[in-house]
């Protein structure tokens, strides 16, 4: 599960650009989840977010 805190997201796009499976996108200057089923839970988006606005639950082994 991917949770994006819209209040904290400033729309920098780092998460969108870094996602290897193109799970995230942008809408109205905020990050959004486009295709959660493709998420491999690598946590790159969570780790790169400067505003701590993204949380990924689980890991690759689930």
Name the residue ranges covered by the structural domains of the chain. Answer: 2-56
What is the pLDDT, as a whole number, of residue 21?
97
In CATH, which of 3.40.50.10540, 3.30.565.10, 3.40.190.10, 3.30.70.20 is domain 2-56? 3.30.70.20
Q: What is the pTM of this model?
A: 0.86
Q: What is the pLDDT of residues 20-55, one digit of tens each?
A: 999 999 999 999 999 999 999 999 999 999 999 999
pLDDT given for residue 58 in this prediction: 81
6-28 pLDDT, tens digit per residue, is 999 999 999 999 999 999 999 99
Q: How far is CA 3 from CA 11, 32, in A?
A: 15, 9
pLDDT on residue 59:
76
């Amino acid at each position: 599960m991917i949770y994006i805190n819209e209040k904290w997201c400033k729309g920098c796009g780092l998460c969108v650009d870094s996602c290897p499976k193109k799970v995230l996108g942008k809408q109205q200057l905020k990050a959004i989840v486009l295709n959660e089923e493709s998420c491999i839970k690598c946590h790159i988006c969570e780790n790169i977010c400067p505003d701590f606005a993204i949380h990924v639950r689980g890991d690759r082994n689930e």
